[in-house]
Structure 1
Amino acid sequence: MSGRKLNLTSIEEVRSYVIDNNPKHIKVGVFDIDGVLRGKFISRDKFLSAIDNGYGFCNALLGWDVSDTLYDNSEYTGWHTGFPDANLRIIPESGLILPFQNETLFFASEFVGTAEAICPRGVLRRVLQRASDMGFSIKAAMEFEFFMFRESSDTVTEKDFKNLRTLSPGSFSYSVLRSLVQEGLYQEILDTFDSIGIDLEGLHAETGPGVVETAIAVDSALGMADKASIFKAFMKILAQNRGLMATFMAKWNEDLSGQSGHTHMSLWSNDGRPLFYDASAEHSMSEVMRHFLGGQLAYLRDFAAMVAPNINSYSRLTPGYWAPTAATWGIDNRTVGIRVIPGSAKSQRLEYRVPGSDVNPYLSMAAAIGSGLLGIEKKIDPGAISVGNAYAKEVPESRRLPSNLETSAVLFGASAEAKDLFGEAFVRHFADSRSFEARQFARAVTDWELRRYFEIL
């Protein structure tokens, strides 16, 4: 089935559309701290009321992890608060007809009121407002790699996630054979997202059994984060409707490369002039571009929790697996943390290569842009360029990425710059949520431990 983007821009247009089309129920959703889409069906009358007055989800939605386990260290919510509702507003421009069987009317939402301080979309909006106040706007694009399996949620559980059947065997990057054998699937992906206004400018097989990579066409930073979040959620639905599964884990198998969520971005003036290009400068990098890059590099370590937000994120950030391990930069160099891509005035850009496909797009985008703005404000120079293999480059500890989530959480929670950019309430809440995740993992007994220690010790 094909969906449809509604192109509504105001509450008045949304109200008129619902009254004219008279759907009995409407699906509403919101992305939580981990980028998971949570939602429910509400009646037409309740939706019309929500347009004006908002609606609520239990605020536990912002106080639990991906398995619905409550954080034990959240100030915002917990048993001590009684779990009141968190208020949300409908986002008019998010309206679409879902591209699935029943062609349901859908709207995304964002948190308001006290919950807005820790709402991921709200965090990005505040960073973008800071950019606008400085005279800047940002264009961005995201790429995602994801593994696909001939499995279901039942079979992966029954198999205990072992011996999983991938969509295709072997590594065959950019394979025409694979993409044409799977042409029905590839075409369905392209058609589905095109129908709801998400233009996939690239789709191909990547390195690894069953790996697919897509690139979402450039948009405003907020528009891109919206599209990237919807893409991840709907791609998993599309796959399961076909009897398949897609995972956006940063690394699902220790012997295979991880899955990236690379982010491309460029800075523009509010009146539409590109600001990263200077034909007279080395590598055509304007002073603004150098300072923006300098800020991204300077704060990559402290903000790592936002771009590597899960335990598994750090399994991907290892040498030799196409993922960076330090805050390095280079010209068209894929071994660095941030790749400068030379081009024309309109196409010159930065590729932020640290995020995996497991990121919450709103938060990874906020970290990448916010750190760049700090670089402009403080006139931070990016330092020495990396040439050749950046993995072999000696870098100071301040430019090394943390090796685990626990360290990232501590660094993020202590960062004065993070509190200035993202708000103290968000920094405290998010740092605590990552510390909780790290403690959950510390309690686990893994297969590796059993194989290594069970008999011999």
Structure 2
Amino acid sequence: MSKELASQDCEANDFEVVHVGQFDYAGIFRERRLRRASFEAWARAPKFANTLAKWDSADSLFADGPHLTEDVAIDWDSLRRWSFENKAALVIADFSGESRELMPRGVLAGQIERAAALGFDVKAAFEFEFLLLNENAQSLRSSGYASPARFAPDNKCWSGQTAAEHAALVAGLEQTVEANDIALFSIAGELGPGCFEATLGATTGLRAADDAALFRQVTRAFARQRDMTASFMPFLGEGYPGLGGHLNLSLIDRATGNNLFSASSGQTNQLAQHFIAGMADVVPEAFALCAHTVNAFRRFAPGSWAPKSLTWAEWTFTTAIRSAPSVHDDARLEFRLPGADCNPHLTLALMLGAGLDGIERALVAPKPAGDLGPDDIQSGAARLPANLADAADRLSASDKARRLFGDAFVDRFSTACRKEHAALARAVSAQELARYIEG
């Protein structure tokens, strides 16, 4: 979309305010709010602070300067309504120079361009589990984040009772999500107190990741406006479920529009198996791209539903990759390892980049995992990193990751992960104190 058409679109939709920004390593949308006339003036030579590629979710810098503004390119196709303010829009502006290859959306764009060169379009959709808590920003801090008050403590998985009791809340969230032009398939109750799952609608690659990141922001804002907290933290502790951020992906033939994972046999076809083989080869080494926080690894504790190694099977919920084959156009692969706090752009870049590598190299997929449980390790299956520090070291040492995602990004992101690990390395939990302080 050209600048002129975007301006016309603002006028046609009666937009008076534009929120413009981009996503950082934590998947947070960092923005500036501009009146329309100010936005149009800024857009003549747009720039944004390059600190976005150098700080963490706590706004702490982990990389050296220079700290300055760099040129950005406005993605006019990303323009969407922003429902939290009257007559407002949101648009994404990515770095166009040196920092582009360091940013999550730029890394994903590179993999989508690679897919296009191979004749593929990408169709994808995220699913997020999340918790609603009866806490606001002040009450969480006043209690020191201890024992958050639960919402719907009587909830059971897929409970019709929960759906009936909280129908107005769920319908309100659905309306708010759709008012921000986020594709949505469903919202329903899930396993655990206050636990819900949202399945987003399938759309094109960049848009799918944008929708996913903005869905979390919209959901958090919706909850806070009701004196609640929406948490996407993968594991809150005892009594809570692990929260996943699963990603579904299909490859589409650019010439015909056909789903290339579909097969007349109704089984996982050869192209999909090459894709799976690439994931099995690359993901264990580049796992940090879909698990970039300390808490993400808590979800992989024994006894959880999260798989512990790189496995696959058809229709099986306990494997890392769940193949959903079909004779119709809904055939897809589901990546079930990421937690709900994953960076959507990097998670999709990892899945797509690894899968394309498997196709290009005609790799052979490992045998399906069959009836293994989530804690079982299939013979020959690659184990996942034990923690964030291990994941950062594996990423930094991976020639495959460097070949697919570039040295500059791998160096910067592995540094970010090491700093994130170090930020909590000396933290001691209440449970540790209770277990050891008097022993």
Other-structure match for 2:262: 277
Unpaired stretches in structure 1, ≥5 consecutive residues: 1-8
Question: Partner letter of residue 6 of structure 2?
Answer: V
- Tell me by how many angstroms 1:88 deviates: 2.3
- Tell me by how many angstroms 1:250 deviates: 1.0
1:266 to 250, 267, 273: 250
- 1:313 and 2:296 matched: yes
Any idea what the Cα deviations from partners look like across 1:96-125, whole Å, max 9, x if unmatched?
A: 332125342322222221110111111001
Other-structure match for 1:197: 181
Any idea what the Cα deviations from partners look like across 1:53-81, whole Å, max 9, x if unmatched?
A: 22222x2222111111111xx3xxx2xx2
- 1:155 and 2:146 matched: no
1:70 to 52, 61, 68: 61
Other-structure match for 1:399: 382
Tell me: CA distance 1:294–1:28, structure 2 relative to 1, closer, same or farther (3 Å).
same
Indicate conservation of the 8 Å contact 1:116/1:122, yes or no.
yes
Other-structure match for 1:116: 100
Any idea what the Cα deviations from partners look like across 1:284-318, whole Å, max 9, x if unmatched?
A: 22211110011111212111101111100001023
Any idea what the Cα deviations from partners look like across 1:385-438, whole Å, max 9, x if unmatched?
A: 111124354446761111100010011111112112112111110011001111
Tell me: CA distance 1:46–1:219, structure 2 relative to 1, closer, same or farther (3 Å).
same
- 1:365 and 2:356 matched: no
The secondary structure found in structure 2 opposite 1:381 is coil
The secondary structure found in structure 2 opposite 1:142 is strand
Question: Partner letter of residue 445 of structure 1?
Answer: V
Query: In terms of mean alpha carbon deviation, does 102-111 or 219-228 score higher?
Result: 102-111
Tell me: CA distance 1:393–1:210, structure 2 relative to 1, closer, same or farther (3 Å).
closer
Any idea what the Cα deviations from partners look like across 1:114-143, whole Å, max 9, x if unmatched?
A: 110111111001001111111112211110
Question: Partner letter of residue 142 of structure 1?
Answer: F
- 1:291 and 2:264 matched: no
Tell me: CA distance 1:93–1:388, structure 2 relative to 1, closer, same or farther (3 Å).
same
Any idea what the Cα deviations from partners look like across 1:370-392, whole Å, max 9, x if unmatched?
A: 00011111111111111112435
1:61 to 52, 63, 74: 52
Query: In terms of mean alpha carbon deviation, does 348-357 or 156-165 score higher?
Result: 156-165
Other-structure match for 1:337: 320
The secondary structure found in structure 2 opposite 1:264 is strand
Other-structure match for 1:146: 130
Tell me: CA distance 1:190–1:442, structure 2 relative to 1, closer, same or farther (3 Å).
same
Other-structure match for 1:435: 418
Query: In terms of mean alpha carbon deviation, does 229-238 or 313-322 score higher?
Result: 313-322
Tell me: CA distance 1:455–1:85, structure 2 relative to 1, closer, same or farther (3 Å).
same
Indicate conservation of the 8 Å contact 2:183/2:200, yes or no.
yes
Question: Partner letter of residue 36 of structure 1?
Answer: I
Other-structure match for 2:193: 209
- 1:455 and 2:438 matched: yes
Unpaired stretches in structure 2, ≥5 consecutive residues: none
The secondary structure found in structure 2 opposite 1:140 is strand
Other-structure match for 1:48: 40
2:22 to 25, 30, 44: 30
Question: Partner letter of residue 56 of structure 2?
Answer: D
1:345 & 1:104 partners in 2: Cα distance?
A: 39
How many residues align? The count is 438
- 1:348 and 2:338 matched: no
2:157 to 160, 173, 181: 173
2:72 to 88, 92, 96: 88
1:275 & 1:233 partners in 2: Cα distance?
A: 33
- 1:125 and 2:116 matched: no
The secondary structure found in structure 1 opposite 2:272 is helix
Tell me: CA distance 1:87–1:170, structure 2 relative to 1, closer, same or farther (3 Å).
farther
Indicate conservation of the 8 Å contact 2:81/2:179, yes or no.
no
1:129 & 1:107 partners in 2: Cα distance?
A: 21
Question: Partner letter of residue 69 of structure 1?
Answer: S
The secondary structure found in structure 2 opposite 1:371 is helix
Indicate conservation of the 8 Å contact 2:309/2:381, yes or no.
no
1:404-419 alignment to 2 at 5 Å? 404-419=387-402
Tell me: CA distance 1:191–1:133, structure 2 relative to 1, closer, same or farther (3 Å).
same
1:122 & 1:150 partners in 2: Cα distance?
A: 37
Question: Partner letter of residue 342 of structure 1?
Answer: P
1:25 & 1:132 partners in 2: Cα distance?
A: 34
Query: In terms of mean alpha carbon deviation, does 198-207 or 45-54 score higher?
Result: 45-54
1:336 & 1:398 partners in 2: Cα distance?
A: 11
1:23 & 1:394 partners in 2: Cα distance?
A: 54
Root-mean-square deviation (CA), in Å? Answer: 1.9
2:381 & 2:314 partners in 1: Cα distance?
A: 22
Query: In terms of mean alpha carbon deviation, does 356-365 or 96-105 score higher?
Result: 96-105
Any idea what the Cα deviations from partners look like across 1:336-389, whole Å, max 9, x if unmatched?
A: 110111222412211110011101100000000100011111111111111112
The secondary structure found in structure 1 opposite 2:98 is helix
Question: Partner letter of residue 291 of structure 2?
Answer: A
Indicate conservation of the 8 Å contact 1:25/1:43, yes or no.
yes
The secondary structure found in structure 2 opposite 1:262 is strand
Tell me: CA distance 1:397–1:450, structure 2 relative to 1, closer, same or farther (3 Å).
farther
The secondary structure found in structure 2 opposite 1:93 is strand
